[in-house]
Structure 1
């Protein structure tokens, strides 16, 4: 291998690789080891690069991991809508003007989305 790159394919931003691997794990029917992830990527990345990306995603609390043989198997902590909700919550938690942000968000909703939100907020489920 020439140079200091760990990638076999074209150079892509770390965020793009993380998104690609997270999507792959979301589509899998169970947790995958780094070797299984590398194989499903078709050899685009080296094993060590896949381990680095999986470790980074685990540190960001986007993946769980459990021992499988001599490696860990990784799985997403939630599905795609769950990740979108986490991003929205993170943005809101970073703001001191939460009421204003929520008001602007609500004002920008379509009538259909506003009605859906009303229905969801009217739901007594503790998971919402």
Structure 2
């Protein structure tokens, strides 16, 4: 009989506990926040430092590349590296996500109708006001 079984520890292994998985988009949000809080364009290494070094450099590069593909950040060559800047603020990013979700749906009218009917009265008023302003600007 093995020693673990003799001591009543059948099936117990000496594995390290993994940290809990982050939510979808959480790392992208952290990287984007680090870029927004910076004074000007940042290298991937400086973003990694701003995040406390908890992420591998390659992970930061991967996240920045994904954000670039989504049109959320821009990059510019600086020597042998790139510097990265956010393209929009939090509101712009949220609007981009909403638009992307809407573009992925076949019945846009149903999605928009469901969205509008789920709004709080104050948000519905604000949306109507914003649509009215956008229409007036388009007529000018």
What count of residue pairs does the alignment treat as equivalent?
A: 117
Of structures 1 and 2, the one with the larger relative CO (CA 8 A, separation 6+) is 1
Structure 1's 110 and 49: CA in aligned 2 closer, same or farther, altered over 3 A? closer
The answer to whether structure 1 residue 49 and structure 2 residue 53 are counterparts is no
Counterpart in 2 of 1:67?
Answer: 77
**Structure possessing the higher radius of gyration over alpha carbons:** 2
Could you give the per-residue CA deviations for residues 42-99 of structure 1, whole angstroms, max 9, x where no partner exists? Answer: 2223333322322222123221001122211101111111111111111111112111
Runs of 4+ in 1 over 3 A off after TM superposition: 10-15
- Among candidates 112, 116, 125, match of residue 137 of structure 2: 125
Normalising by structure 1, report the TM-score. Answer: 0.78
CA contact (8 A) 2:76 2:83 kept: yes
The answer to whether structure 1 residue 108 and structure 2 residue 112 are counterparts is no
Normalising by structure 2, report the TM-score. Answer: 0.72
Q: Unaligned stretches of 5+ in structure 1?
A: 1-9
Measured after TM superposition, the shift of residue 104 of structure 1 is 1.5
Q: Unaligned stretches of 5+ in structure 2?
A: 1-18
Q: What RMSD over aligned residues (CA atoms) do the two structures have, in Å?
A: 2.0
